[in-house]
Amino acid sequence: MRIAVTIFLTDETITPVRLARELEQRGFAGLYLPEHTHIPVERTSPYPAGGELPREYGRTLDPFVALGQAAAVTERLGLGTGITLAAQHDPIDLAKQVATLDHLSGGRFTLGLGFGWNVEEAADHGVRWRTRRELVRDRMGLMRALWAEEPTAYEGEFGSVRASFAYPKPVRKPRGPVIGPRTLVGGAAGPKLFGNICEYADGWLPIGGRGLTEALPVLRTAWADAGRDPGALQVVPYAVRPSAGKLAHFAELGVEEVVVQLPPEGEAGVLRALDAFQTFVDGEGA
């Protein structure tokens, strides 16, 4: 099983360069970074985990800039977002950022997509909360047009683009309906989410991985009904607090990659956490 990590990198934590080098040297599979552009002080949206919103949410580094630094100092480490708030981006700009990072890293990028939880943050980007899922779907359609091998126009409900020359292209070749880098969608299990995954993604990025025993058969059925290759579905539990038993359970379900949660700390704290996770990377704790 491949073990990747996620962390809220901020202006107060370990740097992307130091962390990326350490991860590659230790044999970790990848680095996934979250995204928040800002956190409005006047906020009614509850923190999904409950309690006070942790300090790091308002100090998060831009994931694409940080992953660009990580790409420049590594050769094998996977690079991903967990997640990109696609509704909050101009899709033409985002398509260029994604394709450039994927190209410069040699195809190591995973686009983790999500719909967000912070209503106020999204509103400042002009996002209407009730239609954010449809907006993300539309954004993906537009980006797929720009990533296509031949100039392709797109006319959607929320945006459009003329047939255009748009390079570089993502490294991976089209597979089924998916064009672009490896794409995983985060969110809670349900028909709408699974429909999105089957339409424009390679798989699911479930936070924590709880409830996979019940949810995975439902997703696999939806995947097959959509005509997707059964062997191509990828499920990557995200922000996991690992234990030997938990990873063994994931393996029994066919999971091949898990993203474990690092603390948003300085170098010393992060390296201690990596030491604790090393047995899982080495296969001794799974």
Q: Cα separation of 249 and 286, whole Å?
A: 9
Residue 210 backbone class (left: φ over 0; alpha: ψ -120 to 50; beta: rest): beta
Calpha distance 72→189 (Å, rounded): 35
Mean pLDDT within 11-28: 98
Identify the pLDDT of residue 279. Answer: 95
Task: pLDDT band for 283, please (50, 70, 90 cuts).
Answer: confident
In this structure, what are the phi and psi dihedrals at residue 151, rounded to the nearest 5 degrees?
-50, 125
Q: What is the residue whose two structure tokens read 């998060």? A: 60
Q: What is the DSSP string of 57-107?
A: GGGBPPHHHHHHHHHHT-SS-EEEES-EEGGGS-HHHHHHHHHHHHHHTTS
Task: List C-alpha distances in Å: 150 to 92, 135, 160, 188.
Answer: 16, 24, 16, 35
Pick the closest to residue 207 from 9, 31, 1, 34 (CA basis): 34
DSSP one-letter code for 10: B
Q: pLDDT at residue 286 above 60?
A: no
Cβ atoms within 10 Å of 141's Cβ, excluding its own? 21
For the stretch 149-175, what's the b/e string if a residue is b when 16 or more beta carbons lie within 10 angstroms of its beta carbon? eeebebebebeebeeeebeebbbbeee
Tens-place pLDDT, residues 112-167? 999 999 999 999 999 999 999 999 999 999 999 999 999 999 999 999 999 999 99
Where does residue 285 fall: left (phi above 0), alpha (psi -120 to 50 degrees), or beta otherwise? alpha
For residue 93, is pLDDT > 90?
Answer: yes
Average pLDDT over residues 63-92: 98
User: What was the pLDDT predicted at 284?
Assistant: 62
Distance CA 281, CA 1 (A): 8
The mean predicted confidence, pLDDT, of the chain is: 97
- Interval 247-268 mean pLDDT: 97
DSSP state string for 97-166: HHHHHHHHTTS-EEEEEE--S-HHHHHHTT--GGGHHHHHHHHHHHHHHHHSSS---EE-SS-EE-S---
The DSSP line for 167-203 is: -SPPSSPPBTTB-SSEEEEES-SSHHHHHHHHHH-SE
